[in-house]
Homo-oligomer: A and B are copies of this chain.
Amino acid sequence: MGYNLAFIGFGVVGQGLAQLLDEKQDCLRESFGLEYKVTAISDPVKGSVYQEGGLDLKRILALVDKEGNINGYGEGVKGWDSLKTIQDSNADVIIEVSPTNIENGEPGISHIRTALGKMKHVITTNKGPVALFYRELSELAKKNGVVLKFEGTVLSGTPAINLSLDALAGADVCEIKGIMNGTTNYMLTKMAEGQSYDDVLKEAQRLGYAETKPDADVKGWDAQAKIVILANVVMGGMLAPKDVPTEGITDITLDDIEKARKDGKRYKLIGHAWKEGGKVMARVSPQLVGTDDFLYHVNGVINALTFDTDVLGKVTVVGAGAGKKETGFSLLVDLINMHNVRAK
């Protein structure tokens, strides 16, 4: 009984989930009757192993921690690539956490198509496939009677997708606006304290908030993918990333920021989706916000999203937008909710 999970990708986020699955196993069984085994991991760098009866997560995590890969794991079948793992393992839930690619969604999109095609549930944090192919994938999942969940694509584990689909079910969301990239919000916060763009970028990289190649964050592409996902999933939009005018923070100078400060304002990188003439539109751009704007007070790596609804007016959620455990948790909460809905 219970679910067999396969991890496609075993980087930071996958390891974050594995750790939570190990730590919370007893508590999840007691609280939700949720039982699971991880039977496969496939990662081109960390290695691949498939063990029908379930892997020993503690040993796996210790191995990857010590050796940087899981090749030394004593048992199981080694060397299966991602597609073979999806197709031939006994997993019924595919945890898709391969690297994000917002240009064509690969390799994630092939993983997800294959998994849904094999009637396997998919839980992912991978923004690319969801931003590019949400309608196709959700229809495929529906047709095949399986679940596709992706809370972690927006605001990591802080509820955003599940909040709007479940906790706001029945409300009509007419506008979504907020800070949806923690790295740039951290950088803008530090620049407002007087540090230069180059210095804060280096610091963000040192702290692991920014990648060595920081384009996806600082050019706004990450926020673009997220607002596309929200617009399409929550507001019924039909947007592709290319439809969304996007400007990052690379042109904001310390002078700009100092001028804003004197006016009592701060720059924030804002993702925004709204309805216009029956169509859903979106854009990403740096905007000046004053002290009376809630977002003025959201600083550091924290994210904030405001949903404007027909019945409730504005509902705002604020929380961590990144992190190993936080993003790992988004996968766990999706697994629990999938189980809760299916178990009843």
Q: Known interface pairs A169-B32, A170-B24, A294-B297. Does A312 touch B337 (Cβ–Cβ under 8 Å)? A: no
Q: Known interface pairs A162-B166, A341-B344, A344-B342. Does A315 touch B312 (Cβ–Cβ under 8 Å)? A: no
Closest residue to A311 on the B side, CB-wise? B329
Query: Looking at chain A, what size class is its interface with the partner chain?
Result: 35 or more
A163 within 8 Å of B by Cβ?
Answer: yes
Q: Known interface pairs A318-B318, A344-B342. Does A167 touch B333 (Cβ–Cβ under 8 Å)? A: yes
Report chain B residues within 8 Å CB of A206. Answer: none
A124 within 8 Å of B by Cβ?
Answer: no
Q: Which of B294, B314, B319, B344 contacts A312 (CB 8 A)?
A: B319
Q: Which of A292-344 contact B (CB under 8 A)?
A: 294, 297, 311-320, 325-326, 328-329, 332-333, 336-337, 340-342, 344
Contact B157 A332 (CB under 8 A): no
- List the number of copies, as a whole number: 2
Shortest distance from the beta carbon of A333 to any chain B beta carbon, whole Å:
6
**Which of A312, A315, A333 neighbours the largest number of chain B CB atoms within 10 Å of its CB?**
A312
A171 within 8 Å of B by Cβ?
Answer: yes
CB 8 Å contact bits of A21-47 with B (1 = contact, 0 = none): 000100010011000000000000000
Shortest distance from the beta carbon of A230 to any chain B beta carbon, whole Å:
15
A168 within 8 Å of B by Cβ?
Answer: yes
**Which of A157, A167, A329, A340 neighbours the largest number of chain B CB atoms within 10 Å of its CB?**
A167
Closest residue to A297 on the B side, CB-wise? B297
Report chain B residues within 8 Å CB of A159. Answer: 163, 167-168, 315
CA distance A243 to B91 in the complex (A): 48
Contact B315 A168 (CB under 8 A): no
Contact B169 A337 (CB under 8 A): yes
A158 within 8 Å of B by Cβ?
Answer: yes
Shortest distance from the beta carbon of A155 to any chain B beta carbon, whole Å:
10
Report chain B residues within 8 Å CB of A174. Answer: none
Contact A315 B162 (CB under 8 A): no
Q: Known interface pairs A312-B320, A313-B326, A315-B317. Does A333 touch B169 (Cβ–Cβ under 8 Å)? A: yes
CA distance A319 to B316 in the complex (A): 6
Question: Chain A: residues with CB nearer than 8 A to chain B?
Answer: 20, 24, 28, 31-32, 157-159, 162-163, 166-171, 294, 297, 311-320, 325-326, 328-329, 332-333, 336-337, 340-342, 344
